[in-house]
Structure 1
Amino acid sequence: MTYEEFKDRLNDRIFGEDLNYEILLTVLKNPKRYIGLFRITNAKTKLIQNITQSCEIKFGDFIEEILTKYINEMGYELLDKNIGFDEERNRLNADQVFKNNGVIYLIEQKIRDDHDSTKKRGQYSNLIKKIKTLKLKFPNYQIRACMWFSDDSLKKNKKFYQEQISNNTDDKVDIFIFYGKELFEIFFKRVDIYDEFILHLRKNKEERSGNILSVPDFDTSKEIKNALLKIKKTYPKLIKNLLSNKDEFIELRKEFFPTGKNLKDL
């Protein structure tokens, strides 16, 4: 994969052209997140916090998308990520599921292993549910499943996961836990792919090192005006609320639209 393709995919996923629309929509749907006496920060500071959290989540989605692309390029047959339902009829979606030479591969991926005890147990339980579903769906296949943490600098729960894996007695199922390069060394035997992936990540981070997250001025910027007009078409009730005499929206306007310039003609 070329660096330009990598960069374009990252920018589209995280900094898409509708980012301002998404930001504004979040504010209008959840005004009480940004106002009130029991917040030490002002509304704009809270908004930046939410945007950074959103970018982190989208970055995880991007890593999943890139791994799918690499798996396809390596010649594996991609399978439908909607793998079925668990015993309680909850829909199950895999991060990565593909096959090759009589083996079904399942990868559940996270950025880093830093979760608390409740979440780590839930993640492993979720992996087992997906393995069981794949066994029913592909009874004649060997299954190789793993949890992959792309950032190998944190291994908070490694011992717990290894202990859980050691309880597996099914000779048609192999379960692993991988950090960073290990996935490409053991599953794919293609360290060159991992090296390319890291090279692209590093280059992109260096290019963005001077960037400072900024939010267009809600009160006067053209970007927010366009987003407001778009929301007026798609969610007219939200604009009606914004212009209403409801207490939370009066306070929201004071915080984000002090002169009301972008609210004119709505």
Structure 2
Amino acid sequence: MNYQEFEINLKNKLISGTGPKMLMKILDAPFRYDSLLTPFNLNLKMEQGFLRSQENKYYSFIKELCNYFFLNNQFDSLENKYTFIKKEENSETKELVFTEIKINFDYVYAKNNEIIVIRQKKRDIFSKKEILKIVDKFFNDLENFAQNNSEVKIKGYLWFVDNEYQRNLDILQEKFKFGLKNNYEANFAYSANLFAYLNNEDYWLEVERNLEKFKKNNYDDFLKLPNLDSDKETLEFMTKMSNKLWEKLTSPEEIYMKIRSLIFNLENPQSNFFKAIKLREIANQASDEDELKNKLIEYGQSENNYEK
């Protein structure tokens, strides 16, 4: 993926849907944004939540780039959550014991009678106790998965996305040195090393270069919370939101009245709040799609005349 395509995809992910998502979060839990138990006002809490959401979207995009690599190289993406019934014999009673095993990997891909499973961690900053627990769980899940897919070869990877932190490198090298076992093998990898196992380390090195370039350009259009009172995407969401959410938005309860007054300019007839009321009214009164389209056209023309 060249940088231009990379930038367009990332910016679209960061910019789209931010207003509707923020409004929905506020309506679902208004106490998180306006309460005596927080020292911050609504605007600061919205900004805080927005930036956290943007950071999550950014990391989600990075995960998508991993998936993009495999799909672009003709791997089939498989279900990553599994439930097995494991059958074992009790050593003392000789009775069969059935245990439900649940396994969840981050990625599972198949190609040419081989399955690749990946468990992803952001960075290797764990304590010795924590990393041993993570590794043991990974080995246990990998072995159970391999036993239930005995007809194919399994390659398992514990992948740390960030290359800057390798706190437990020595422990990992010791734990992962057993090599091929039955029909599976396990490896750990930092950053681009995962793709080195797949003979394409350059792919992830390019991803990292693109991320560095994106950050250096210091774009600010995805760092600003959209104005919910005028944002077009938010208005469209308000017009089509569920009745349950709409009832919250228009509720006479004190908390929702306060939220409305802080988010919307209720003295401005062009506020998204009043526009949404009118548009929902039009939608409810229209007898069919043609009438709805005509009424929306009429409303749009009157809005344009008002703005002039």
Report the TM-score when normalising by structure 2: 0.70
CA contact (8 A) 2:78 2:110 kept: no
Q: Which residue of 1 aligns with 2:82?
A: 84
Moved more, 243-252 or 82-91: 82-91
CA contact (8 A) 1:243 1:249 kept: yes
- Residues 150-200 of structure 1: CA distance to partner in whole angstroms, max 9, x if unpaired? 211123455565565468994433222211222122x11222222322222
Q: Which runs of 5+ in 2 are unaligned?
A: 86-98, 278-308
Deviation at 1:220, TM superposition (A): 4.4
Q: Which residue of 1 aligns with 2:240?
A: 230
The 1-side partners of 2:259 and 2:101 are apart by 38
Are 1:44 and 2:55 matched, yes or no?
no
Q: % of aligned pairs identical?
A: 23
Q: Which runs of 5+ in 1 are unaligned?
A: none
- Residues 94-137 of structure 1: CA distance to partner in whole angstroms, max 9, x if unpaired? 32222445532111223323467897677546634642453144
Relative to structure 1, the CA distance from residue 241 to residue 57 in structure 2 (aligned partners, 3 Å threshold; closer, same or farther) is same
Are 1:259 and 2:258 matched, yes or no?
no
Deviation at 1:31, TM superposition (A): 0.9
Match of 2:142 among 131, 138, 157: 131
Q: Which amino acid aligns with 2:72?
A: E
Q: Which residue of 2 aligns with 1:2?
A: 2
Relative to structure 1, the CA distance from residue 28 to residue 204 in structure 2 (aligned partners, 3 Å threshold; closer, same or farther) is same
Moved more, 187-196 or 152-161: 152-161
Q: Which residue of 2 aligns with 1:73?
A: 72
The 2-side partners of 1:28 and 1:119 are apart by 37
The 1-side partners of 2:70 and 2:183 are apart by 22
SS at match of 2:78: coil
- Residues 53-87 of structure 1: CA distance to partner in whole angstroms, max 9, x if unpaired? 22222223222221122123345x32413352255
The 1-side partners of 2:80 and 2:198 are apart by 23
Q: Which residue of 2 aligns with 1:193?
A: 203
Q: Which amino acid aligns with 1:201?
A: L
Please provide the CA RMSD for this pair. 3.3
SS at match of 1:112: coil
Q: Which residue of 2 aligns with 1:11?
A: 11
The 2-side partners of 1:252 and 1:118 are apart by 45
Moved more, 131-140 or 28-37: 131-140
